[in-house]
Amino acid sequence: MAEWWRGAVIYQIYPRSFLDTNADGIGDLAGITRKLDYIAALGVDGVWLSPFYRSPMKDFGYDVSDYLDVDPIFGTLADFDTLLAEAHHRGLKVVIDQVWSHSSNMHPWFVESSGSRDNPKADWYVWADPKPDGTPPNNWLASFGGPAWTWSPLRRQYYLHNFLPEQPDLNYWNPEVREQILNVAKFWLDRGVDGFRLDVINYIVHDQELRDNPPALRAVPPPLATMMQRHVFDRSRPEALDFIRDLRRLMDGYGGRMTVGEIGDEPPLPRQQEYTAPPDRLHTAYSFYLLQGPATPERFAQALSSWADAPGWPSWSLGNHDVARYASRIAREDPSVTRTLMAALLALRGTIFLYQGEELGLPQGEVPFELLRDPYDINSYPAGEGRDGARTPIPWLGEPALAGFSDAALTWLPVDPNHRLLAADRQEGDPASMLNFTRRLIALRQASPALKTGEALLLDAPLGVLAFERRQGDERVICLFELDGRPASVRLPGFAEAEPLFMWHGACRREDRIDLAPFAGALLRIEA
Protein backbone atom coordinates (compact mmCIF):
# COMPACT_ATOMS: atom_id res chain seq x y z
CA MET A 1 0.00 0.00 0.00
CA ALA A 2 1.22 3.51 -0.84
CA GLU A 3 3.05 5.38 1.91
CA TRP A 4 0.49 8.19 2.03
CA TRP A 5 2.31 9.89 4.90
CA ARG A 6 5.56 10.39 2.98
CA GLY A 7 5.60 14.07 2.03
CA ALA A 8 2.08 14.61 3.39
CA VAL A 9 0.81 17.79 5.05
CA ILE A 10 -1.00 16.99 8.31
CA TYR A 11 -3.08 19.52 10.24
CA GLN A 12 -2.89 19.35 14.03
CA ILE A 13 -6.13 19.93 15.92
CA TYR A 14 -6.22 20.76 19.63
CA PRO A 15 -9.83 19.69 20.24
CA ARG A 16 -10.50 21.89 23.28
CA SER A 17 -9.93 25.01 21.17
CA PHE A 18 -11.23 24.11 17.71
CA LEU A 19 -15.04 24.43 17.78
CA ASP A 20 -17.60 24.06 20.57
CA THR A 21 -20.99 22.69 19.47
CA ASN A 22 -22.72 22.21 22.85
CA ALA A 23 -22.11 25.67 24.38
CA ASP A 24 -19.97 24.50 27.30
CA GLY A 25 -17.01 26.64 26.26
CA ILE A 26 -14.86 23.65 25.27
CA GLY A 27 -14.30 22.35 21.75
CA ASP A 28 -15.52 18.85 20.94
CA LEU A 29 -15.38 16.06 18.39
CA ALA A 30 -18.63 17.19 16.76
CA GLY A 31 -17.01 20.57 16.21
CA ILE A 32 -14.11 18.96 14.36
CA THR A 33 -16.57 17.02 12.19
CA ARG A 34 -18.42 20.23 11.40
CA LYS A 35 -15.21 21.87 10.15
CA LEU A 36 -13.92 18.99 8.02
CA ASP A 37 -14.86 20.81 4.82
CA TYR A 38 -12.70 23.75 5.91
CA ILE A 39 -9.80 21.38 6.63
CA ALA A 40 -10.22 19.57 3.32
CA ALA A 41 -10.25 22.93 1.52
CA LEU A 42 -6.78 23.63 2.91
CA GLY A 43 -5.56 20.77 0.72
CA VAL A 44 -3.96 18.82 3.56
CA ASP A 45 -3.70 15.03 3.58
CA GLY A 46 -4.99 14.43 7.07
CA VAL A 47 -5.39 15.57 10.65
CA TRP A 48 -3.64 14.84 13.92
CA LEU A 49 -5.96 14.98 16.92
CA SER A 50 -4.49 15.83 20.30
CA PRO A 51 -5.86 13.61 23.13
CA PHE A 52 -9.62 13.30 23.54
CA TYR A 53 -9.60 10.35 25.98
CA ARG A 54 -11.01 10.23 29.49
CA SER A 55 -8.81 12.34 31.72
CA PRO A 56 -8.85 14.41 34.93
CA MET A 57 -7.38 17.14 32.67
CA LYS A 58 -4.50 18.04 34.96
CA ASP A 59 -2.46 18.35 31.75
CA PHE A 60 -5.50 18.77 29.51
CA GLY A 61 -5.71 15.27 28.12
CA TYR A 62 -2.06 14.27 28.30
CA ASP A 63 -2.91 12.55 31.60
CA VAL A 64 -5.07 9.66 30.41
CA SER A 65 -7.32 7.73 32.80
CA ASP A 66 -8.91 5.51 30.13
CA TYR A 67 -7.13 4.89 26.83
CA LEU A 68 -10.18 3.23 25.25
CA ASP A 69 -12.90 5.84 25.73
CA VAL A 70 -13.70 9.44 24.87
CA ASP A 71 -13.91 12.01 27.64
CA PRO A 72 -17.50 13.25 27.94
CA ILE A 73 -16.43 16.87 27.43
CA PHE A 74 -15.44 15.89 23.87
CA GLY A 75 -18.35 13.53 23.15
CA THR A 76 -18.60 9.77 22.78
CA LEU A 77 -16.99 6.92 20.90
CA ALA A 78 -19.89 7.19 18.46
CA ASP A 79 -18.92 10.84 17.86
CA PHE A 80 -15.37 9.72 17.15
CA ASP A 81 -16.57 7.05 14.72
CA THR A 82 -18.64 9.67 12.91
CA LEU A 83 -15.65 12.02 12.70
CA LEU A 84 -13.47 9.21 11.36
CA ALA A 85 -16.01 8.18 8.73
CA GLU A 86 -16.64 11.76 7.60
CA ALA A 87 -12.90 12.47 7.39
CA HIS A 88 -12.33 9.36 5.30
CA HIS A 89 -15.27 10.33 3.09
CA ARG A 90 -13.37 13.55 2.28
CA GLY A 91 -10.11 11.72 1.65
CA LEU A 92 -8.56 12.86 4.94
CA LYS A 93 -6.45 10.53 7.06
CA VAL A 94 -6.84 10.60 10.84
CA VAL A 95 -3.81 10.34 13.15
CA ILE A 96 -4.51 10.30 16.89
CA ASP A 97 -2.27 11.15 19.82
CA GLN A 98 -1.17 8.28 22.02
CA VAL A 99 0.29 9.08 25.46
CA TRP A 100 2.05 5.89 26.41
CA SER A 101 5.00 7.12 28.44
CA HIS A 102 2.76 7.88 31.39
CA SER A 103 -0.86 7.73 32.47
CA SER A 104 -2.99 9.71 34.88
CA ASN A 105 -2.62 8.89 38.55
CA MET A 106 -6.38 8.30 38.41
CA HIS A 107 -6.00 5.48 35.89
CA PRO A 108 -7.18 2.18 37.44
CA TRP A 109 -3.77 0.71 36.69
CA PHE A 110 -2.02 3.24 38.91
CA VAL A 111 -4.69 3.14 41.60
CA GLU A 112 -4.08 -0.60 41.91
CA SER A 113 -0.31 -0.30 41.56
CA SER A 114 -0.09 2.26 44.35
CA GLY A 115 -2.17 0.16 46.73
CA SER A 116 0.59 -2.21 47.83
CA ARG A 117 3.95 -3.65 46.85
CA ASP A 118 2.54 -7.09 46.01
CA ASN A 119 -0.63 -6.55 43.98
CA PRO A 120 -0.89 -7.78 40.34
CA LYS A 121 0.02 -4.32 38.98
CA ALA A 122 2.58 -3.42 41.63
CA ASP A 123 5.33 -3.32 38.99
CA TRP A 124 3.35 -1.53 36.25
CA TYR A 125 4.83 1.84 37.24
CA VAL A 126 8.34 2.93 38.24
CA TRP A 127 8.67 2.63 42.02
CA ALA A 128 11.84 3.07 44.05
CA ASP A 129 12.89 3.15 47.69
CA PRO A 130 14.19 6.40 49.17
CA LYS A 131 17.78 7.04 50.06
CA PRO A 132 18.59 6.47 53.73
CA ASP A 133 17.89 10.14 54.46
CA GLY A 134 14.43 9.94 52.84
CA THR A 135 15.29 11.89 49.70
CA PRO A 136 14.47 10.64 46.18
CA PRO A 137 16.54 7.80 44.73
CA ASN A 138 18.43 10.00 42.26
CA ASN A 139 18.74 13.50 40.81
CA TRP A 140 16.26 13.21 37.93
CA LEU A 141 14.12 16.32 37.40
CA ALA A 142 10.61 16.69 36.01
CA SER A 143 10.04 18.82 32.92
CA PHE A 144 7.37 20.84 34.75
CA GLY A 145 9.67 21.61 37.68
CA GLY A 146 10.99 19.92 40.80
CA PRO A 147 12.15 16.34 41.32
CA ALA A 148 10.87 13.63 38.98
CA TRP A 149 9.86 11.61 42.05
CA THR A 150 6.82 11.87 44.35
CA TRP A 151 6.43 10.04 47.66
CA SER A 152 3.55 7.60 48.14
CA PRO A 153 2.63 7.31 51.85
CA LEU A 154 0.67 4.13 51.07
CA ARG A 155 3.54 2.22 49.44
CA ARG A 156 6.22 4.18 51.28
CA GLN A 157 8.14 4.49 48.07
CA TYR A 158 8.72 7.10 45.41
CA TYR A 159 7.18 6.88 41.95
CA LEU A 160 8.67 8.40 38.80
CA HIS A 161 6.98 11.13 36.76
CA ASN A 162 8.74 13.04 34.00
CA PHE A 163 6.02 15.69 34.05
CA LEU A 164 3.36 16.40 36.71
CA PRO A 165 3.06 14.22 39.83
CA GLU A 166 -0.38 13.36 38.43
CA GLN A 167 1.36 11.72 35.42
CA PRO A 168 3.20 8.64 36.74
CA ASP A 169 5.52 6.85 34.33
CA LEU A 170 4.65 3.37 33.15
CA ASN A 171 7.27 0.66 33.58
CA TYR A 172 8.27 -0.68 30.17
CA TRP A 173 10.63 -3.19 31.73
CA ASN A 174 7.45 -5.10 32.57
CA PRO A 175 6.31 -7.19 29.55
CA GLU A 176 2.70 -6.99 30.74
CA VAL A 177 2.78 -3.21 30.34
CA ARG A 178 4.16 -3.45 26.80
CA GLU A 179 1.49 -6.01 25.90
CA GLN A 180 -1.29 -3.87 27.33
CA ILE A 181 -0.12 -0.78 25.43
CA LEU A 182 -0.06 -2.77 22.20
CA ASN A 183 -3.63 -3.81 22.96
CA VAL A 184 -4.51 -0.11 23.18
CA ALA A 185 -2.97 0.36 19.75
CA LYS A 186 -5.00 -2.55 18.36
CA PHE A 187 -8.22 -1.05 19.72
CA TRP A 188 -7.80 2.14 17.72
CA LEU A 189 -6.33 0.46 14.64
CA ASP A 190 -9.32 -1.88 14.54
CA ARG A 191 -11.53 1.20 14.75
CA GLY A 192 -9.91 2.48 11.55
CA VAL A 193 -7.45 5.22 12.50
CA ASP A 194 -4.65 5.83 10.03
CA GLY A 195 -1.83 6.40 12.45
CA PHE A 196 -0.50 7.46 15.82
CA ARG A 197 1.38 10.51 17.00
CA LEU A 198 3.43 9.16 19.90
CA ASP A 199 3.90 11.62 22.75
CA VAL A 200 7.46 11.74 24.18
CA ILE A 201 7.99 8.20 22.94
CA ASN A 202 11.72 8.31 23.72
CA TYR A 203 10.86 8.66 27.45
CA ILE A 204 9.29 5.23 27.82
CA VAL A 205 12.29 3.36 29.27
CA HIS A 206 14.37 4.35 32.29
CA ASP A 207 17.74 3.11 33.51
CA GLN A 208 17.10 0.16 35.78
CA GLU A 209 20.00 1.12 38.04
CA LEU A 210 18.51 4.62 38.51
CA ARG A 211 21.89 6.26 38.00
CA ASP A 212 22.17 10.05 38.37
CA ASN A 213 22.12 12.14 35.22
CA PRO A 214 25.37 14.05 34.60
CA PRO A 215 25.34 17.87 34.46
CA ALA A 216 24.93 19.61 31.13
CA LEU A 217 27.54 22.25 32.08
CA ARG A 218 25.76 25.13 30.36
CA ALA A 219 27.49 28.52 30.39
CA VAL A 220 24.20 30.33 30.97
CA PRO A 221 21.50 28.97 33.29
CA PRO A 222 18.58 27.72 31.14
CA PRO A 223 14.92 28.58 31.80
CA LEU A 224 14.16 25.05 33.02
CA ALA A 225 16.16 23.29 35.72
CA THR A 226 15.81 19.98 33.88
CA MET A 227 17.87 21.47 31.04
CA MET A 228 20.85 21.59 33.41
CA GLN A 229 21.17 17.81 33.11
CA ARG A 230 22.20 15.53 30.27
CA HIS A 231 19.33 13.07 30.16
CA VAL A 232 21.46 9.98 29.75
CA PHE A 233 19.55 7.69 32.09
CA ASP A 234 15.91 8.84 31.96
CA ARG A 235 15.39 9.36 28.21
CA SER A 236 16.26 7.72 24.90
CA ARG A 237 17.46 4.49 26.46
CA PRO A 238 18.42 1.93 23.79
CA GLU A 239 15.90 -0.55 25.22
CA ALA A 240 13.08 1.77 24.12
CA LEU A 241 13.74 0.67 20.56
CA ASP A 242 12.74 -2.88 21.49
CA PHE A 243 9.19 -1.69 22.09
CA ILE A 244 9.32 0.41 18.91
CA ARG A 245 10.12 -2.76 16.95
CA ASP A 246 7.12 -4.56 18.48
CA LEU A 247 4.90 -1.61 17.62
CA ARG A 248 6.20 -1.41 14.05
CA ARG A 249 5.52 -5.11 13.58
CA LEU A 250 1.95 -4.53 14.71
CA MET A 251 1.49 -1.48 12.46
CA ASP A 252 2.86 -3.30 9.41
CA GLY A 253 0.26 -6.00 9.93
CA TYR A 254 -2.52 -3.47 9.36
CA GLY A 255 -1.16 -1.92 6.14
CA GLY A 256 -1.23 1.76 5.26
CA ARG A 257 -0.94 2.93 8.87
CA MET A 258 1.84 5.14 10.22
CA THR A 259 3.58 6.33 13.36
CA VAL A 260 5.15 9.73 14.00
CA GLY A 261 7.18 10.14 17.14
CA GLU A 262 7.74 13.23 19.24
CA ILE A 263 11.46 12.98 19.99
CA GLY A 264 12.64 15.63 22.43
CA ASP A 265 16.28 15.10 23.34
CA GLU A 266 19.82 16.15 22.54
CA PRO A 267 21.21 16.03 19.93
CA PRO A 268 17.84 16.59 18.24
CA LEU A 269 18.50 15.64 14.62
CA PRO A 270 20.58 12.48 15.21
CA ARG A 271 18.04 11.36 17.82
CA GLN A 272 15.24 11.90 15.31
CA GLN A 273 17.12 9.74 12.83
CA GLU A 274 17.83 7.03 15.41
CA TYR A 275 14.11 6.51 15.98
CA THR A 276 13.25 6.33 12.26
CA ALA A 277 15.96 4.05 10.89
CA PRO A 278 14.30 1.42 8.62
CA PRO A 279 12.95 -1.15 8.59
CA ASP A 280 11.68 -1.70 12.13
CA ARG A 281 11.38 1.70 13.79
CA LEU A 282 8.98 4.63 13.49
CA HIS A 283 7.76 5.67 10.06
CA THR A 284 8.75 9.26 10.80
CA ALA A 285 9.50 11.55 13.73
CA TYR A 286 9.97 15.19 14.51
CA SER A 287 12.30 16.94 16.91
CA PHE A 288 12.07 20.46 18.30
CA TYR A 289 14.97 21.60 16.13
CA LEU A 290 12.99 24.09 14.04
CA LEU A 291 10.68 25.01 16.92
CA GLN A 292 13.43 26.03 19.33
CA GLY A 293 15.90 28.02 17.30
CA PRO A 294 15.95 31.22 15.27
CA ALA A 295 14.61 30.85 11.75
CA THR A 296 17.89 31.42 9.94
CA PRO A 297 18.96 30.02 6.56
CA GLU A 298 21.68 28.13 8.40
CA ARG A 299 19.19 26.39 10.67
CA PHE A 300 16.96 25.27 7.81
CA ALA A 301 20.03 24.21 5.83
CA GLN A 302 21.29 22.12 8.75
CA ALA A 303 17.90 20.43 9.01
CA LEU A 304 17.99 19.51 5.33
CA SER A 305 21.64 18.48 5.12
CA SER A 306 21.47 16.32 8.24
CA TRP A 307 18.81 14.19 6.55
CA ALA A 308 20.37 14.11 3.08
CA ASP A 309 21.91 10.67 3.54
CA ALA A 310 19.84 9.40 6.46
CA PRO A 311 17.82 6.26 5.69
CA GLY A 312 14.65 7.30 7.51
CA TRP A 313 12.09 10.03 6.80
CA PRO A 314 11.80 13.31 8.73
CA SER A 315 8.86 15.40 9.82
CA TRP A 316 8.92 19.15 10.41
CA SER A 317 6.82 21.80 12.07
CA LEU A 318 7.19 25.37 13.25
CA GLY A 319 4.64 25.13 16.02
CA ASN A 320 2.33 22.98 18.09
CA HIS A 321 0.35 23.11 21.33
CA ASP A 322 3.51 23.03 23.46
CA VAL A 323 5.25 26.20 22.27
CA ALA A 324 4.33 29.82 21.66
CA ARG A 325 2.90 30.45 18.19
CA TYR A 326 5.62 30.81 15.59
CA ALA A 327 4.20 34.09 14.25
CA SER A 328 5.25 35.63 17.58
CA ARG A 329 8.08 33.36 18.67
CA ILE A 330 10.28 33.51 15.57
CA ALA A 331 8.48 35.76 13.05
CA ARG A 332 8.23 38.67 15.53
CA GLU A 333 4.59 39.20 14.47
CA ASP A 334 5.74 40.45 11.08
CA PRO A 335 3.24 39.12 8.49
CA SER A 336 5.92 39.02 5.79
CA VAL A 337 8.19 36.84 7.92
CA THR A 338 5.25 34.67 8.99
CA ARG A 339 4.34 33.97 5.36
CA THR A 340 7.86 33.28 4.14
CA LEU A 341 8.52 30.89 7.02
CA MET A 342 5.30 29.06 6.14
CA ALA A 343 6.52 28.80 2.56
CA ALA A 344 9.92 27.51 3.65
CA LEU A 345 8.29 24.89 5.86
CA LEU A 346 6.00 23.66 3.08
CA ALA A 347 8.95 23.37 0.69
CA LEU A 348 11.01 21.12 2.95
CA ARG A 349 11.67 17.46 2.26
CA GLY A 350 9.69 15.51 4.82
CA THR A 351 6.22 15.26 6.27
CA ILE A 352 4.84 18.63 7.34
CA PHE A 353 2.71 19.35 10.39
CA LEU A 354 0.68 22.57 10.58
CA TYR A 355 -0.81 23.58 13.91
CA GLN A 356 -4.37 24.90 13.87
CA GLY A 357 -4.46 28.66 13.33
CA GLU A 358 -1.08 28.84 11.60
CA GLU A 359 -2.91 29.00 8.28
CA LEU A 360 -4.52 32.20 9.62
CA GLY A 361 -1.20 33.67 10.79
CA LEU A 362 -2.35 33.80 14.41
CA PRO A 363 0.14 35.34 16.83
CA GLN A 364 0.42 34.24 20.45
CA GLY A 365 -2.88 34.83 22.23
CA GLU A 366 -3.05 37.11 25.25
CA VAL A 367 -4.08 35.27 28.42
CA PRO A 368 -4.06 37.20 31.72
CA PHE A 369 -2.41 35.41 34.63
CA GLU A 370 -5.70 34.91 36.44
CA LEU A 371 -7.09 33.03 33.42
CA LEU A 372 -4.10 30.75 32.83
CA ARG A 373 -4.99 27.05 32.89
CA ASP A 374 -1.78 25.25 31.96
CA PRO A 375 0.21 24.09 35.01
CA TYR A 376 3.46 24.67 33.13
CA ASP A 377 2.50 28.28 32.41
CA ILE A 378 1.41 28.91 35.98
CA ASN A 379 4.57 27.38 37.47
CA SER A 380 6.90 29.32 35.15
CA TYR A 381 5.08 32.67 35.19
CA PRO A 382 6.31 35.29 34.31
CA ALA A 383 9.42 33.73 32.76
CA GLY A 384 8.12 34.03 29.22
CA GLU A 385 5.50 33.07 26.70
CA GLY A 386 3.89 29.79 27.66
CA ARG A 387 1.55 27.28 26.12
CA ASP A 388 -1.90 28.70 26.89
CA GLY A 389 -1.34 31.56 24.44
CA ALA A 390 -0.97 28.96 21.67
CA ARG A 391 -4.13 27.15 22.78
CA THR A 392 -6.70 29.95 22.74
CA PRO A 393 -9.85 29.26 20.68
CA ILE A 394 -9.74 29.45 16.90
CA PRO A 395 -11.46 32.59 15.52
CA TRP A 396 -13.95 31.45 12.89
CA LEU A 397 -15.94 34.69 12.67
CA GLY A 398 -14.79 38.28 13.01
CA GLU A 399 -17.87 39.80 14.58
CA PRO A 400 -19.10 37.83 17.65
CA ALA A 401 -17.15 38.35 20.86
CA LEU A 402 -16.30 34.64 20.97
CA ALA A 403 -15.39 34.60 17.26
CA GLY A 404 -17.81 31.83 16.33
CA PHE A 405 -15.96 29.33 18.50
CA SER A 406 -18.75 28.91 21.06
CA ASP A 407 -22.16 30.11 22.18
CA ALA A 408 -21.16 29.79 25.84
CA ALA A 409 -20.97 32.72 28.21
CA LEU A 410 -17.32 31.87 28.90
CA THR A 411 -14.77 29.70 27.11
CA TRP A 412 -12.12 27.52 28.76
CA LEU A 413 -9.46 29.99 27.59
CA PRO A 414 -10.36 33.51 26.48
CA VAL A 415 -10.70 34.43 22.83
CA ASP A 416 -8.05 37.02 22.02
CA PRO A 417 -9.94 40.04 20.57
CA ASN A 418 -7.01 40.70 18.22
CA HIS A 419 -7.45 37.24 16.72
CA ARG A 420 -10.91 38.22 15.49
CA LEU A 421 -9.18 40.51 12.97
CA LEU A 422 -7.64 37.37 11.45
CA ALA A 423 -10.82 35.27 11.60
CA ALA A 424 -11.31 32.62 8.93
CA ASP A 425 -14.41 34.30 7.47
CA ARG A 426 -12.52 37.57 7.01
CA GLN A 427 -9.67 35.83 5.19
CA GLU A 428 -11.78 33.48 3.08
CA GLY A 429 -12.61 35.92 0.30
CA ASP A 430 -9.32 37.84 0.32
CA PRO A 431 -6.92 36.44 -2.30
CA ALA A 432 -4.02 38.11 -0.49
CA SER A 433 -4.83 36.62 2.95
CA MET A 434 -2.58 34.29 4.89
CA LEU A 435 -5.26 31.61 4.59
CA ASN A 436 -5.23 31.70 0.81
CA PHE A 437 -1.44 32.06 0.73
CA THR A 438 -1.20 28.82 2.71
CA ARG A 439 -3.76 27.06 0.52
CA ARG A 440 -1.83 28.01 -2.60
CA LEU A 441 1.44 26.70 -1.20
CA ILE A 442 -0.14 23.41 -0.15
CA ALA A 443 -1.71 23.02 -3.58
CA LEU A 444 1.68 23.60 -5.25
CA ARG A 445 3.27 20.98 -3.00
CA GLN A 446 0.52 18.45 -3.69
CA ALA A 447 0.81 18.96 -7.46
CA SER A 448 4.60 18.66 -7.57
CA PRO A 449 6.31 15.28 -7.14
CA ALA A 450 9.57 17.14 -6.53
CA LEU A 451 8.15 19.22 -3.68
CA LYS A 452 6.22 16.35 -2.15
CA THR A 453 8.74 13.54 -2.08
CA GLY A 454 11.81 14.62 -4.08
CA GLU A 455 15.34 14.89 -2.80
CA ALA A 456 16.64 18.21 -1.46
CA LEU A 457 19.94 19.79 -2.47
CA LEU A 458 21.28 22.96 -0.87
CA LEU A 459 22.34 25.74 -3.24
CA ASP A 460 24.86 28.54 -2.83
CA ALA A 461 23.15 31.84 -2.12
CA PRO A 462 23.90 35.30 -0.72
CA LEU A 463 24.04 35.81 3.03
CA GLY A 464 20.57 35.73 4.54
CA VAL A 465 19.00 33.67 1.74
CA LEU A 466 17.90 30.06 2.09
CA ALA A 467 18.20 28.33 -1.27
CA PHE A 468 17.65 24.69 -2.13
CA GLU A 469 16.46 22.54 -4.98
CA ARG A 470 13.84 19.80 -4.80
CA ARG A 471 14.23 17.18 -7.53
CA GLN A 472 12.23 14.16 -8.63
CA GLY A 473 12.50 12.53 -12.04
CA ASP A 474 12.49 15.24 -14.71
CA GLU A 475 11.15 17.94 -12.39
CA ARG A 476 13.32 20.41 -10.50
CA VAL A 477 11.96 23.13 -8.22
CA ILE A 478 14.21 25.96 -7.05
CA CYS A 479 13.17 27.30 -3.63
CA LEU A 480 14.40 30.74 -2.51
CA PHE A 481 13.62 32.55 0.76
CA GLU A 482 15.08 35.82 2.02
CA LEU A 483 15.15 35.49 5.81
CA ASP A 484 17.43 38.33 6.96
CA GLY A 485 15.40 41.41 6.04
CA ARG A 486 17.78 42.70 3.37
CA PRO A 487 17.41 42.85 -0.43
CA ALA A 488 19.32 40.13 -2.25
CA SER A 489 19.92 38.86 -5.78
CA VAL A 490 20.33 35.18 -6.55
CA ARG A 491 21.99 33.93 -9.72
CA LEU A 492 21.75 30.25 -10.56
CA PRO A 493 22.22 28.25 -13.77
CA GLY A 494 18.99 27.53 -15.60
CA PHE A 495 17.03 30.60 -14.47
CA ALA A 496 16.39 31.60 -18.07
CA GLU A 497 14.37 28.40 -18.57
CA ALA A 498 12.70 28.47 -15.16
CA GLU A 499 8.92 28.71 -14.87
CA PRO A 500 7.82 30.78 -11.86
CA LEU A 501 5.39 28.74 -9.79
CA PHE A 502 4.88 31.33 -7.05
CA MET A 503 6.67 34.57 -6.15
CA TRP A 504 5.72 36.84 -3.27
CA HIS A 505 6.65 39.97 -1.30
CA GLY A 506 8.47 41.71 -4.13
CA ALA A 507 10.40 38.85 -5.66
CA CYS A 508 11.24 39.70 -9.27
CA ARG A 509 12.61 37.50 -12.02
CA ARG A 510 15.33 38.96 -14.25
CA GLU A 511 16.92 37.26 -17.22
CA ASP A 512 19.78 35.80 -15.21
CA ARG A 513 18.73 36.22 -11.61
CA ILE A 514 15.96 36.55 -9.04
CA ASP A 515 15.81 39.77 -7.04
CA LEU A 516 14.41 39.31 -3.56
CA ALA A 517 13.02 42.12 -1.43
CA PRO A 518 13.28 41.67 2.35
CA PHE A 519 11.46 38.47 3.37
CA ALA A 520 10.47 37.71 -0.22
CA GLY A 521 10.48 34.28 -1.76
CA ALA A 522 10.13 32.38 -5.00
CA LEU A 523 9.44 28.85 -6.22
CA LEU A 524 10.51 28.12 -9.79
CA ARG A 525 10.19 24.92 -11.80
CA ILE A 526 12.77 23.70 -14.27
CA GLU A 527 11.88 20.77 -16.50
CA ALA A 528 14.93 18.61 -17.20
Q: Give the dihedral sign, CA 217/219/224/227.
A: negative
Please tell me the total number of residues recorded for the chain in this structure: 528
Alpha carbon 137 to chain centroid, angstroms: 32
DSSP state of 114: T
Active site residue 199: yes
Q: What SS3 state is found at 258?
A: strand
How far apart are the C-alpha atoms of 182 and 168, rounded to whole Å? 19
DSSP state of 137: S
Q: Judging by beta carbons within 10 Å of its beta carbon (0-12, 13-18, 19+), is residue 148 exposed, middle or buried?
A: buried
Please list the residues that pair with 509 across neighbouring strands.
Answer: 514
- Give phi and psi for 125, each to the nearest 5: -125, 170
Catalytic hit among 79, 97, 166, 199: 199
Other CB atoms within 10 Å distance of the CB of residue 123: 16
Catalytic hit among 97, 262, 374, 482: 262
Active site residue 262: yes
**Nearest 5 degrees, angle CA 257-CA 440-CA 96?**
25
The backbone region for 231, taken as left when phi is positive above 0, alpha when psi lies in -120 to 50, beta otherwise, is beta
The backbone region for 145, taken as left when phi is positive above 0, alpha when psi lies in -120 to 50, beta otherwise, is left
| Pairing mode of beta strands 157-160, 149-152 | antiparallel
C-alpha pair distances (Å), 331 with each of 109, 434, 458, 461, 507: 44, 14, 23, 21, 19
Q: Which residues are catalytic?
A: 199, 262
